[in-house]
Amino acid sequence: MAASCGRACSSASRLAVSKQARLRVLALLALGGVVGLDLWTKSVAEQRWSTPVDLFWKVRFAYTVNSGAAFSTFQGAGRWLLIAAAAIVMVLLVVLWRTRRYAIALPLALLTGGAIGNALGRAMRSDHGVVDFIDPHLWPVFNVADAAITVGCVWLGLNLVFKPRSDHGH
């Protein structure tokens, strides 16, 4: 019995590891995609959108720097926000690494990627501000990282409230 369980258990263990590995790779790709897109768009905003560019309706690209937090709160606290963001990112990375469910890992990857993008953006600027450039006029100016954080939080919240039945990662 032990020998047959050894093979079966070993096979099941490999299957579980491969699912976990796929989940981690997908999460890291999503996280890296958010960080890369965020940093690239912030760079483009700094180089090209000092003069606002109208897109449609009242939405435009307009380069701004936010030295505070969301909705321009905590102005001038960029250094402290960077330290707080680094601590939050470390916690998010640990939680992301440990999760076994796609329904949790993917929104966490967006959230973590957005947090890393904004933290790196702060770290690269001497004023520790964050470049924002998407100006919908009816809402504060934001960036790709902010959008990823928002989508990740909403998606994670919906998944936690409604607990999806099927999850490819189980």
The pLDDT tens digits for 104-153 are 999 999 999 999 999 999 888 888 889 999 999 888 899 999 999 999 99
Q: What average pLDDT is seen over the chain? A: 85
Which has the minimum average pLDDT: 4-13, 134-143, 155-164? Answer: 4-13
- The region of weakest confidence among 3-12, 96-105, 138-147, 160-169 is 3-12
Model confidence at 18, pLDDT cuts 50, 70, 90, reads: confident
pLDDT at 82: 83
- Specify the 3-state DSSP secondary structure of 105: helix
Q: Is the pLDDT of residue 16 over 70?
A: no
Selected catalytic residue, list 54, 127, 135, 146 = 146
Indicate if the pLDDT at residue 96 is higher than 80: yes
Higher pLDDT pick, 72 / 130: 130
Radius of gyration of the chain (CA): 20
CB of 64 closer than 8 Å to CB of 136: no
Beta carbons of 60 and 51 less than 8 angstroms apart: no
Q: How far apart are CA 16 and CA 143, in angstroms?
A: 37
Q: Which residue has the tokens 């720097």?
A: 65
For the cut 60, the answer to whether the pLDDT of residue 36 exceeds it is: yes
Alpha carbon distance 91, 45 (integer Å):
30
The answer to whether residue 127 is catalytic is: no
Q: What integer pLDDT is reported at residue 10 of this predicted model? A: 61
Catalytic annotation present for 132: yes
At residue 107, the pLDDT reads: 95
Q: Tell me which of 54, 132, 135, 167 is the catalytic residue.
A: 132
Task: Quote the pLDDT of residue 75.
Answer: 72
pLDDT exceeds cutoff 70 at 17: no
Position 168 scores a pLDDT of 52
pLDDT-derived band at 68, boundaries 50, 70, 90: confident
Instruction: Grade residue 85 by pLDDT with cuts at 50, 70 and 90.
Output: confident
